[in-house]
């Protein structure tokens, strides 16, 4: 019976850790950039776009498509950093144990 109580306690602790991690992800700010830093985007730890910063030098050209492409690239860069950050946070909770494929914890 003690083993069952220990397992339940561990499950509760992991659930609390997951809840804490979700809060941490929501509060995290992760920046991605492109064009040698001329375009920067900031995402929260869940991948929601929070801000876009564009170097004023880009506005002096008629290269609208270049600016648009740089925004997309900066977002992709930030998104990959968000995924790496979330994976690292998950590793802290699981002790580095890989979860089975398809086990989505809605990060």
Phi, then psi, of 33 in degrees rounded to 5: -145, 165
Mind listing the pLDDT tens digit for each residue in 76-88? 999 999 989 888 8
In a domain, 64, yes or no: yes
Please tell me the total count of domains within the chain: 1
Q: What is the pTM of this model?
A: 0.62
For the chain, the C-alpha Rg in angstroms (whole number) is: 19
CATH code for position 73: 3.30.1310.10
**Residue-number span of the structural domain to which 37 is assigned:** 25-94
Q: CB count, 10 Å around CB of 107?
A: 17
In a domain, 75, yes or no: yes
In a domain, 58, yes or no: yes
In a domain, 29, yes or no: yes
Q: Which long-range contacts (CB under 8 A, 24 or more apart) does 46-53 make?
A: 46/82, 46/107, 47/79, 47/82, 49/75
Reduce the DSSP state of residue 1 to 3 states and report it. Answer: coil
> What whole-number distance in Å separates Cα of residue 89 and Cα of residue 87?
5
For 67-92, the DSSP string reads HHHHHHHHHHHHHHHHHHHHHHHHHH
Mind listing the pLDDT tens digit for each residue in 17-70? 888 888 888 888 999 999 999 999 998 888 888 889 989 888 876 888 888 888
């Amino acid at each position: 019976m003690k083993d069952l109580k220990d397992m339940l306690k561990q499950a509760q602790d992991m659930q609390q850790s997951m809840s804490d991690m979700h809060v941490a992800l929501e509060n995290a700010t992760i920046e991605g950039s492109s064009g040698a830093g001329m375009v920067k985007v900031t995402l929260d730890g869940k991948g929601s776009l929070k801000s876009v910063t564009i170097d004023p030098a880009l506005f002096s050209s008629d290269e609208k498509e270049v600016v648009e492409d740089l925004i997309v690239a900066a977002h992709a860069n930030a998104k990959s950093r968000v995924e790496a950050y979330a994976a690292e946070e998950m590793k802290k909770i699981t002790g580095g144990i890989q979860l089975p494929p398809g086990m989505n914890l809605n990060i």
